[in-house]
């Protein structure tokens, strides 16, 4: 850490609540950079961490924040000092709810030259979302990084950060995309991103997917719901289809028909991003830089910012996300 007088504001956790505090400003180690935070994205995992249910990896700060945008102010050993002054978006192990944070240089990308401050702030809503969707759709579900013409994918939670990013990337790479969302307005907004929307409040997504695919089903289901959707997700898959589970919003247990699994040669995978070792995150982010960032720069994948709140109102921002009305991301601005 830096000397005692080098301090910064951060939203620390005390007795299950977010509390603003002064903490030492970190220094970048080998392979790392120090970022002056322009904005930090709020993610469901942050809420779990505050509740005590999602501890940070060893060596990460105790406070939340898995993605930020901002300006590189210092580089550690082995990092190009030419990065100092660059505006970047970065994936973190934690610590983004602060004025400064440390990120591995392998886990960021430099924002397109000339990006305005509004664009820099909005970029904070991308790193965790695009890393999650890319790693699961490509590494786990076997989709192509560039061309998914002829493939069909059901994305649950199309109005969320991961879901909205997945819709845009899948649409840009030629896939046929279906998504679930709650209510006609949210369905319409998802359709504007490139998906066929299904209102889970009034429609059975399995029946609707089967109808829209002529009875075939989809090649991939990307699921944030968990237990409650397990069997229905399998029923929505085509032969040799893959279900990738990345969340448990409606339970961590479910029953499935093993006979269906076997007869249709289906696969089920479950993953988390934060706990992956650094070398895996570096591989994921290399893929993001090669196959997602160019689409971001073209405007074909863009951050959807629901609201920006001051860093000091992090608790209110998390409550906003927990209430379920957010479309896209909520950001904190120091």
pLDDT single digits (tens) 183-231 = 999 999 999 999 999 999 999 999 999 999 999 999 999 999 999 999 9
On the question of pLDDT at 84 being above 50, the answer is yes
Same domain for 72 and 197? no
Question: Which residue has 């970029």 as its token pair?
Answer: 123
Same domain for 68 and 99? yes
Question: What pLDDT, on the 0 to 100 scale, is given for residue 5?
Answer: 55
Same domain for 139 and 120? no
Question: What pLDDT, on the 0 to 100 scale, is given for residue 114?
Answer: 63
Average pLDDT over residues 137-164: 98
- Count the domains in the chain: 2
Please state, rounded to an integer, the average pLDDT across all residues of the chain: 95
On the question of pLDDT at 281 being above 80, the answer is yes
Question: What pLDDT, on the 0 to 100 scale, is given for residue 2?
Answer: 39
Report the DSSP beta bridge partners of residue 75: 33
Same domain for 144 and 245? yes
Average pLDDT over residues 29-50: 97
Same domain for 263 and 133? yes
On the question of pLDDT at 279 being above 80, the answer is yes
Strands 267-270 and 305-310: unpaired
Is residue 110, in this structure, part of any structural domain at all?
yes
* Residue 112 pLDDT class (50, 70, 90 cuts): confident
On the question of pLDDT at 268 being above 80, the answer is yes
Q: Which of 254, 270, 286 is the last residue of a domain?
A: 270
Q: Which of 270, 288, 322 is the last residue of a domain?
A: 270
Name the residue among 86, 132, 94 with its Cα closest to residue 11.
Answer: 94
Average pLDDT over residues 66-93: 97
Same domain for 75 and 141? no
Is residue 291, in this structure, part of any structural domain at all?
no
% the chain with pLDDT above 70? 98
Is residue 225, in this structure, part of any structural domain at all?
yes
Same domain for 150 and 107? no
On the question of pLDDT at 295 being above 70, the answer is yes
CATH for 220: 3.40.50.720
User: How far apart are alpha carbons 241 and 236 in whole angstroms?
Assistant: 9
Is residue 288, in this structure, part of any structural domain at all?
no
Is residue 113, in this structure, part of any structural domain at all?
yes
The domain of 241 spans 129-270
Same domain for 204 and 182? yes
User: How far apart are alpha carbons 121 and 142 in whole angstroms?
Assistant: 32
Average pLDDT over residues 280-307: 97
Is residue 283, in this structure, part of any structural domain at all?
no
On the question of pLDDT at 118 being above 90, the answer is no
Q: Where are the alpha helices (DSSP H) in the chain?
A: 44-50, 117-122, 127-134, 161-172, 184-193, 205-212, 230-235, 258-263, 278-291, 293-297, 314-322
Reported as half-sphere exposure (CB side, CA atoms, 13 A), residue 299 has a value of: 2
Is residue 100, in this structure, part of any structural domain at all?
yes
User: How far apart are alpha carbons 194 and 145 in whole angstroms?
Assistant: 18
Question: What pLDDT, on the 0 to 100 scale, is given for residue 224?
Answer: 95
Per residue in 248-259, pLDDT (tens digit) is 999 899 999 999
24-27 long-range contacts (CB < 8 A, ≥24 apart) are 25/1, 25/99, 25/100, 26/1, 26/2, 26/61, 26/95, 26/100, 26/101, 26/102, 27/1, 27/2, 27/74, 27/76, 27/102
Same domain for 86 and 107? yes
CATH for 312: 3.90.180.10
On the question of pLDDT at 267 being above 50, the answer is yes
On the question of pLDDT at 1 being above 70, the answer is no
Same domain for 136 and 84? no
Is residue 284, in this structure, part of any structural domain at all?
no
Report the DSSP beta bridge partners of residue 246: none
């Amino acid at each position: 850490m830096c000397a005692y007088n080098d301090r910064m504001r951060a939203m620390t956790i005390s007795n299950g609540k977010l509390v603003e505090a002064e903490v030492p400003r970190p220094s970048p180690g080998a392979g790392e950079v120090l970022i002056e935070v322009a904005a930090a994205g709020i993610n469901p995992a942050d809420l779990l961490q505050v509740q005590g249910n999602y501890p940070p990896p060893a060596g990460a700060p105790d406070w939340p924040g898995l993605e930020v945008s901002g300006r590189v102010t210092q580089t550690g050993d082995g990092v190009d000092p030419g990065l100092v002054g660059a505006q970047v978006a970065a994936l973190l192990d934690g610590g983004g709810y602060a004025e400064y944070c440390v990120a591995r240089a392998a886990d960021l990308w430099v924002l397109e030259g000339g990006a305005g401050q509004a664009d820099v702030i909005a970029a904070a809503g991308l790193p965790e979302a695009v890393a999650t969707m890319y790693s699961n759709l490509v590494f786990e579900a076997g989709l192509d990084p560039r061309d998914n013409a002829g493939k069909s994918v059901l994305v649950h939670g199309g109005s969320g950060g991961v879901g909205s990013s997945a819709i845009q990337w899948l649409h840009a790479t030629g896939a046929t995309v279906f998504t679930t969302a709650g209510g006609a307005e949210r369905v319409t907004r998802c359709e504007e991103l490139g998906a066929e929307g299904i209102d889970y409040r009034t429609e059975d997504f399995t029946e609707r997917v089967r109808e829209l695919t002529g009875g075939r089903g989809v090649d991939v289901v990307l699921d944030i719901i968990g237990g409650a959707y397990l069997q229905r997700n399998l029923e929505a898959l085509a032969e040799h289809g893959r279900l990738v589970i990345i969340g448990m919003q409606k339970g961590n247990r479910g029953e499935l028909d093993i006979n269906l699994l076997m007869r249709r040669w289906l696969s089920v995978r479950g993953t988390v991003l934060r706990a992956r070792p650094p070398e895996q995150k570096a591989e994921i982010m290399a893929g993001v830089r090669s196959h997602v960032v160019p689409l971001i720069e073209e405007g074909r994948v863009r951050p959807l910012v629901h609201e920006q709140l001051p860093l000091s109102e992090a608790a209110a921002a998390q409550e906003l996300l927990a209430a379920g009305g957010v479309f896209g991301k909520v950001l904190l601005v120091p």
